[in-house]
Amino acid sequence: MSFVTGVGLTPFGKHEGSSSLDLMSKAAQLALDDAGLKRTEIDGILCGYSTVSPHIMLATVFAEHFGIRPSYAHAVQVGGATGFAMTMLAHHLVVSGVCRNVLVVAGENRLTGQSRDASIQALAQVGHPDYEVPLGPTIPAYYGLVASRYMHEYGVTEQDLAEFAVLMRAHASTHPGAQFHDPITVADVMGSKPVAMPLKLLDCCPVSDGGAAFVISRERTGEAGVRIRGCAQAHTHQHVTAAPALGELGAEISIARAREATGLAISDVRYAAIYDSFTITLAMLLEDLGLAQRGEASARARSGHFSRDGALPLNTHGGLLSYGHCGVGGAMAHLVEAHLQMTGRAAARQVRDASIALLHGDGGVLSSHVSMFLERVR
Amino acid sequence: MSDRLADWTKGEQAITYQACSSCGHVQYFHRDFCAACGIKGPRVARASGKGKVYATSLVCRAATPGTRAHVPYNILLVDCAEGFRMMAHGDNDLVIGDEVIVGFKPFAGKLVPFFVKIQEGDPSFGGGRETEPGTGILGLAC
């Protein structure tokens, strides 16, 4: 078995003067303190990447900087799915006996360390260098293409998508660490600047500075335990040009594998932590995962289904859309929040029952998927 | 390669694709093997330039000075008649399902495929044609 024994998360937004290593270190220290573990007890390190400070050996750069000499260490790169992919790997390293305590860490000064154009341009390079990038696409354009098709096939409207921006902002307003706190309306989203239609500014997550970390351990270190029940991945393509048809995307494959690995059903899920780089990402993933019927996710959002007091609380920290997105650490914040909810430490955001959580991450343009079930154990 | 077919990725006014002579798989991203069965040397062919719009996104915020000069520009995924999907540009008023045909336009220092709607009953479309730059309908949403 493996347990998430500690979590750490910085506020997201501007951390003027902080490097990627600074933000990773801050989050890592918080996670170690939360787990009650010392540096010498960490024998594995998995880290993400930094677009601001790329390095071919970031895990050992971090290990040296932070003061750990692990017996296992390397970086992982699967875009937005990296955080949960590292968690899955840490789970297997712990279960197979390779490591006792794996520190999973990511952080990036993506907002203040480079211009927004540089961020957008760096990220657009996930496109095909010969067949896509010369056309001047951006990440919002890749998702805008997907959105246009999804809306066409399932009758989803721009107003429907806007519901998720409103919901994530409402959740972020109750988290002091979130990048954005001011409430917004569907009209605000509809009236925000067009970025890559049908996506407008408030349909898109921001660029943030921030860091997140957790410790995955063979044994529990505290009273309340959060166990990784099981996880699975699916990778169907890299470029949106080569993506399979809607309804055959990786989220459906990875959730089916994760359900089989755990014996759990979607009806068992009490808390959802779902990747939300854009409103369309969240709407599609909720439906691909079976947390809503096709074309019905936004109606559920509107009715309060995914709210803190609703039947299935979703991203109660505000998600990438409003807590913020600092790269790999962005989706890791979803797991940190799930852990706080499962251990009854989410303060004003606490939900009634987070005994079983479903986490899902997406990298590229719905290219790489990781589905994961967490379970509270007493 | 002296017998190479012209292709827009090399700055020429044509679209090419590959077809596997063994399994029949059609692929747009060129490789020296078939990605479905692994057989070497898929046949390279010139596409008709006709297709149907699969998805659209009008880019209103670009990331580089070169592309910003063209905002707004419409990025498309087009399902081509020969059975492959490609990314391209096109008129800003195109919608999903439109039957389209390709031309080529300069964009950020390169020549890129630019699709326009096939007019009903127009028999003159036998292949690619060059469109005038700047004829796209601008400012629909931006």
ipTM value for the complex: 0.95
Interface check for A207 against chain B (CB to CB < 8 A): the answer is no
For residue B92, give the chain A residue with the closest CA. A197
Nearest C-alpha of chain A: how many angstroms from B93? 12
pLDDT at residue number B123: 53
pLDDT at A363 over 90: yes
Cα(A136)–Cα(A144) distance, integer angstroms: 13
pLDDT at res. B120: 74
Q: In this structure, are strands A3-9 and A209-217 parallel, antiparallel, or unpaired? A: antiparallel
**A142: Cα separation from own chain's centroid:** 19
* A151 min Cα distance to partner chain B (Å): 10
Give the tens place of pLDDT for each residue, A40-62.
Answer: 999 999 999 999 999 999 999 99
Write the residue in A120, A196, A239 that is nearest to B60 by C-beta: A196
CB-CB under 8 Å, B85 with A242:
yes
Q: Is residue B92 part of a domain?
A: yes
How far apart are the CA of B76 and the nearest CA of chain A, in angstroms? 7
Give the integer Cα–Cα distance in Å for A41 and A31: 13
* Residue B78 domain-assigned (yes or no): yes
Residue of chain B whose Cα is closest to the Cα of A132: B87
Taking the C-alpha atoms of residue A373 and residue A367, their distance in angstroms, rounded to an integer, is: 20
Per-residue confidence (pLDDT) for residue B142, from 0 to 100: 53
**Residue A119: predicted pLDDT:** 78
pLDDT in tens, A1-21: 999 999 999 999 999 999 999
Residue B113 lies in a domain: yes
Kindly state the greatest CA–CA separation across chain B. Answer: 47
Is there a domain that residue B26 lies in?
A: no
Contact A241 B112 (CB under 8 A): no
The domain tally of chain B equals: 1
Taking the CA atoms of A235, A238, A244 and A246 in sequence, report the sign of the dihedral they define. positive
CATH of the domain at B111: 2.40.50
In a domain, B34, yes or no: no
- A residues 243-272 near B, CB within 8 Å? none
Residue B55 lies in a domain: yes
A312-to-A165, A250, B91 alpha-carbon distances in Å? 17, 23, 42
For residue B127, what pLDDT is reported? 43
Q: Which residues between 48 and 107 in chain A have a beta carbon less than 8 angstroms from any beta carbon of chain B? A: none
Mark yes or no for CB contact B87/A194 under 8 Å. no
Name the residue range of residue B78's domain: 50-139
In a domain, B35, yes or no: no
Q: What is the pLDDT of residue B122?
A: 62
Q: How confident is the model at residue B2 (pLDDT cuts 50, 70, 90)?
A: very low
Is position B60 within any domain? Answer: yes
